[in-house]
Structure 1
Amino acid sequence: MDSPREILKRHGLRAKHSWGQNFLGDPDALQAIADALVLREGEPVVELGPGLGHLTRFLAATGAQVTAVERDRDMVAVLEKEAIPGVRVVPGNAATVDFAQVAGAPDIALVGNLPYHLTSPILFQVLAQRAHISRAVFTLQKEVVVRLAAEPGNRDYGLLTVLLGLHFDVEQVLTLEAWRFHPPPKVDSAVLRLTRLKKPRAPLVDEARFTRLVKAGFAQRRKTLINSLKSDKGLATPEVMLAALKTAGIDPGRRAETLAPEEFAAIERALGPVTAMAPPPPDAPEEAVGHDAEE
């Protein structure tokens, strides 16, 4: 198999810095990523951002039905010219695509070497579409994988750690040094595996309220839990929120990073039936977990 440098040269292309393109061509690493997904013959798998098709070849070698979703027109042209057997190439944006629909299957596996600046949007899509995703294996910036796999009480623990942890087993399976990529990024990467649970770790009254509750908890990490949660007045009055914490058995003086997903779920349930909520405050954005490693 030709190296990324050789394939780019053959097609008269260069890696696009603005797209966060860092191509992995190391055979041992690619085989390890494909192995981590544990694909069965004939199983539908969607690869996000296949780039030059290096991982795509290893996925196809398992006998799985590979749908490669690529937004870079130059890379789409490369994949079509390379014509990897058993692979269907679909132009599209990994941050907005319907994974099951593009694969034409109700339940799929998902894999990709994700551009760092698209990490958060894609992970929120995984959460939104989790009913159709049995498992996912992503290559991400190492510090992001450490955060997503962190345990409660760790300073790396955050919003997406909780949201993913409610619905998936989350684990780091591999570290990939920067030199394995072309061009090499300025940081190391790691491989994250998400395995969907048969049911959430804890029941909820309302998924949207749970997400908003967790966002509020982490919006001001240095504050106590009750003070962070009170910052989103649309969730509940301070009195109702304090009562919910008491019902859930959660000390209001704790900080969000110490709560397991099950504890956040207990608070959400304790808030009772859902009523119309005011829009969240503008200072409670979705957590960004990745950035372009070349910046």
Structure 2
Amino acid sequence: MPRATSDRFSRAHQPSAKPKASSESNTSGSGVHNPIFNTERFGQHILKNPQTAQSIVDTANLRPTDKVLEVGPGTGNLTVRILEKAKHVTAVEMDPRMAAELTKRVQGKPEQRKLEIMIGDFVKATLPYFDVCISNTPYQISSPLVFRLLSHRPLFRTAILMFQREFALRLVARPGTELWSRLSANVQLYAKVDLVMNVSKNNFRPPPKVESSVIRLVPRDPPPPVEFGEFDGLLRIVFGRKNKTVHANFQAKGVTEMLESNWRTWASVNNVMIEDGMNMKKKVEEVLQETGFSESRPAKMDIDDLLKLLSAFHDVGIHFA
């Protein structure tokens, strides 16, 4: 039998499941209730189109030696195709009933020895080594999944991930476009991301209310020597209102106080004498003027611009995490 483990996980990030009235539970005309598995509880939609499933697996370019991490296998429509090409698959599934269905699907077959099922919350899981990640991602863990993968060590080779289309388009957005955002910049600093295919909602059971897309994510190797907390801390400020100027975003309520607190901590740790009457607002304005980004708008700044700004702040002891 595939090994199934559940004691290391929790469902803390999931909404509690409340019993529904019988009249509601028997209604399927809305197209969002799965009569076999309570998929809406976990934000899952089972991929039913075999051609789409095969295209996703083919895109991963799996090797016979690959160990694959699959997130949200559901009943295994992707899993069985991955098992045909990979050495081993670890499937992380939140719903024990779906895990049981997947177990039955490979029971007594050669693929049984190649599959391990982990029942629980992917975001909190202790992940094994893997070469490739493939995921039909439950909507509510889209962002946590991406950043969990990017922080995983050792680096994996590639990830083929299905998301709600708007989220996928934000991942691949370019500076100056409407969807360029803090998410876009954070992800693209640490990985190359490209759109692989669009997937109609009719490919799923139950069909979601939105369309989906598949992206390919390849970690930059070696990763850039930039602490995520620092880069994201800067982005939180400048993308607070991405169509306003950088200077205006640094004038937002609480920003100066936060930077001054961080600066005092940095000065203490590095044995830097704290200046009498230090004016953080003036220090910030000097950096913005010297870098030439004071009147820039984050919606049009690329990653190199953001890194130059972060480096200039660090040079004068201003930190964001």
Matched, 1:227 2:231: no
Structure-1 separation of matches of 2:140 and 2:206: 17
Structure-2 separation of matches of 1:80 and 1:274: 57
2:67–2:86 Cα contact (<8 Å) kept? no
- Which digits, 9 at most, give the CA deviation of each residue in 1:22-64, with x for residues without a partner? 1102111111111221211121110011111110111111133
Distance 1:97 1:240, change over 3 A: farther
RMSD between superposed Cα atoms in Å: 2.3
Tell me, what secondary structure is at the counterpart of 1:272? Answer: helix
- TM-score, scaled relative to structure 1: 0.80
Question: Aligned letter for 1:213?
Answer: L
Q: Which residue number in structure 1 is paired with residue 115 of structure 2?
A: 87
Matched, 1:97 2:118: no
TM superposition shift of 1:16: 2.2
1:240–1:271 Cα contact (<8 Å) kept? no
Structure-2 separation of matches of 1:211 and 1:130: 20
- Which digits, 9 at most, give the CA deviation of each residue in 1:85-126, with x for residues without a partner? 121111121122233xxx3x2x53211011112112212212
TM superposition shift of 1:244: 2.9
Structure exhibiting the larger radius of gyration computed from Cα positions: 2
Unaligned runs of 5+ in 1: 1-11, 280-295
- Which digits, 9 at most, give the CA deviation of each residue in 1:185-226, with x for residues without a partner? 1111000111112234x653x432111101221122342112
Question: Aligned letter for 1:197?
Answer: R
Matched, 1:135 2:163: no
Q: Which residue number in structure 1 is paired with residue 301 of structure 2?
A: 259
Distance 1:30 1:221, change over 3 A: same
2:229–2:320 Cα contact (<8 Å) kept? no
Match of 1:198 among 221, 225, 232: 221
**Aligned 1:71-220 pairs, distance under 5 A:** 71-83=94-106, 85=111, 86-99=114-127, 103=128, 105=129, 108-129=131-152, 131-200=154-223, 203-204=225-226, 206-220=227-241
Structure-2 separation of matches of 1:51 and 1:117: 15
2:37–2:97 Cα contact (<8 Å) kept? no
1:213–1:229 Cα contact (<8 Å) kept? no
Distance 1:270 1:178, change over 3 A: same
Structure-2 separation of matches of 1:263 and 1:278: 17
Structure-1 separation of matches of 2:195 and 2:317: 39
TM superposition shift of 1:81: 1.7
Number of aligned residue pairs: give it. 260
- Which digits, 9 at most, give the CA deviation of each residue in 1:125-181, with x for residues without a partner? 123226533221110011111111011011101111101101111110000001111
- TM-score, scaled relative to structure 2: 0.74
